[in-house]
Structure 1
Amino acid sequence: MKKHVELERKIEWFKKYYPHGLRIKVVISKEGGYQGMLEYIPGEFAHRPVDADGYMFIHCIFVGFRKEFKGRGMASLLLDECIKEARDKKMLGVAVVTRKGPFMAGNDIFLNKGFQIVDSAEPDFDLLVKKFDDESENPQFKANMDECLTEYSNGLTILRSVQCPYTEKNVNSIVESAQNKFKLKTNLIDLEDVKAVKNTPCAFGSFCLIYNGEILSYHPISKTRFENIMKKIIK
């Protein structure tokens, strides 16, 4: 933990939200050890800009740290555990945000489990839900995401939450590069609670890179990627 600050902060975040129903399930192979994880939490505490009260909400899922373990049904196994827990707790169903681009799970695995797309957000995010009762109200993205963006119309801003440990990685080097290479002072905002996350302009919720009111990245990026983007903007 001394070497990886993001791990220490993630553990503290986990302790904070565990009493509210946050859970992380892992799948372990006898041959390959730890091969996947699923993180979920009741929707009112979801670290995404969504209205999903009453639903279990999936933050992230990843399986197959070694490619020979991909395609073995591990993701399906993890999803079954989440769905079962939501049913046992008499919740309305299970919801998740996906995207067609990088860094988040795509739709396929959820569609195969009976999820349906009920809302979308720019540029390529979908909100999916598996409802236990068709009469239940659908979850939805927050309606004011574009309005939230106007708050960051001047200069460079990074929004981040420790929900995603990757938001710690590379941020310091981006801030340094912005200052030294582009003469930009970065407004670095740590999203400290659910309310702050739900009022972000980006559907990912846990990270957003903004310059003069325009979103440059919806997910954590490297210093090199940041510099390549800025070179096209600042000439």
Structure 2
Amino acid sequence: MNAFKIIDLTSENIANYGVCGYKDIKKHLELRKKIAWFNSYYPKGLRIKAVVSEVGGYQGMIEYIPGNYAHRPVEADGYLFIHCLYVGLKKEYKGKGYASLLIQACIDDAQNSGMKGVAVVTRKGSFMANDLIFLKMRFTVVDEAKPDFHLMVIKFDEDAENPKFKEGIQASLEKYGQGLTILRSPQCPYTEKNVNAIIETAQNQFHLPVQLIDLSDAKAAQNSPCPFGTFGIIFNGKIISHHPISNTRFVNIIEKLMP
């Protein structure tokens, strides 16, 4: 295994390392928005730890925050909440145990901070870590949300109340009405890419009314009808994508739904 280190990103170094594969702050608006979001929540306990290889550079990260600021529709006060986890920007760095080390670093932080434990939303589908790595780290599933989301937790006190998805999170879908609604938050930089193209396609090709809603803070994300929290596409009151997608994928979905 190449020599590596786990570093803490701060307002002083985050622009040097980048986030989620984005490195050029001048080129990428999504990175600038992510850094601004990071700086606003860092004083509230947001942390990003990055795996940096001596040879390959930045190869993954874990992001977590106190549960009351979680950008998912959950109730997780008293827990550290993992927003995202990924490793292996280059395939030779996959399967090296980096993910386990990052999760353990989060667990250690939670224990040292007197938290109840660590929670995370996983899914069987794409764009999020699945259950397997967390089961390996002794997490258990304590709640579910449609279509394929799990809420997992490792608790330091078995008598502590479990975190849970907010009740009736999809009951608010009707308020978005007919047409297309896109929800996004700067927490996830991938929510910026392709959105303009999707809006243009929806309006010009499919002649749909479109509203873009920026989820400005944790409360807004916690009230999202999408378990992913920081992104969602709603069409005529139904969620058609729970995670960021390309314009091509959007066209394929809409063509199947349009009369």
Across the aligned residues of Structure 1 and Structure 2, the Cα RMSD in angstroms comes to 0.8
Residue in structure 2 matching 1:5, options 7, 29, 46 = 29
Q: Which residue of 2 aligns with 1:222?
A: 246
Structure 1 residues 28 and 2: CA distance shift in structure 2, 3 A: closer
Mapped to 1, the partners of 2:28 and 2:53 lie a distance apart of 25
Following superposition, the deviation at residue 208 of structure 1 comes to 0.5
1:119-173 deviation per Cα after TM superposition (whole angstroms, max 9, x unaligned)? 0000000000000010000000000212221211321100101100000000000
Q: How many percent identity over aligned positions?
A: 61
Residue in structure 1 matching 2:226, options 202, 205, 226 = 202
Residue in structure 1 matching 2:70, options 46, 49, 57 = 46
Q: Which residue of 1 aligns with 2:59?
A: 35
Following superposition, the deviation at residue 31 of structure 1 comes to 2.4
Q: May I ask how many residue pairs the two structures share in their alignment?
A: 235
Q: Which residue of 1 aligns with 2:195?
A: 171
Mapped to 1, the partners of 2:29 and 2:93 lie a distance apart of 29
1:100-127 deviation per Cα after TM superposition (whole angstroms, max 9, x unaligned)? 0000000011001110000000000000
Where 2:85 maps in the other structure, the secondary structure is strand
1:172-217 deviation per Cα after TM superposition (whole angstroms, max 9, x unaligned)? 0000000110011211000001111111111000001001111000
Q: What code does the residue aligned with 1:154 have?
A: Q
Structure 1, unaligned stretches of length 5 or more? none
Mapped to 2, the partners of 1:208 and 1:146 lie a distance apart of 12
Q: Which residue of 2 aligns with 1:66?
A: 90
Mapped to 1, the partners of 2:154 and 2:52 lie a distance apart of 26
Residue in structure 1 matching 2:114, options 90, 102, 109 = 90
Instruction: Out of 134-143 and 28-37, give the one that drifted further.
Output: 28-37
Where 1:62 maps in the other structure, the secondary structure is strand
Q: Which residue of 1 aligns with 2:10?
A: none
Where 2:205 maps in the other structure, the secondary structure is helix
TM-score of the pair, normalised by structure 2: 0.89
Query: In the alignment, is the contact (CA less than 8 A) between 1:160 and 1:206 conserved in 2?
Result: yes
Query: In the alignment, is the contact (CA less than 8 A) between 1:153 and 1:214 conserved in 2?
Result: no
Q: Which residue of 1 aligns with 2:163?
A: 139
Mapped to 2, the partners of 1:165 and 1:98 lie a distance apart of 18
- The alignment status of 1:120 with 2:111, answered yes or no, reads no
Residue in structure 2 matching 1:19, options 29, 43, 61 = 43
- The alignment status of 1:104 with 2:125, answered yes or no, reads no
Query: In the alignment, is the contact (CA less than 8 A) between 1:149 and 1:200 conserved in 2?
Result: no
**Misfit runs of 4+, over 4 Å:** none
1:4-58 deviation per Cα after TM superposition (whole angstroms, max 9, x unaligned)? 1000000000010000000000011122221110000000000000000000000
Mapped to 1, the partners of 2:174 and 2:157 lie a distance apart of 38
Mapped to 1, the partners of 2:98 and 2:253 lie a distance apart of 36
Structure 2, unaligned stretches of length 5 or more? 1-24
Instruction: Out of 141-150 and 79-88, give the one that drifted further.
Output: 141-150
Q: Which residue of 2 aligns with 1:192?
A: 216
Q: Which residue of 2 aligns with 1:153?
A: 177
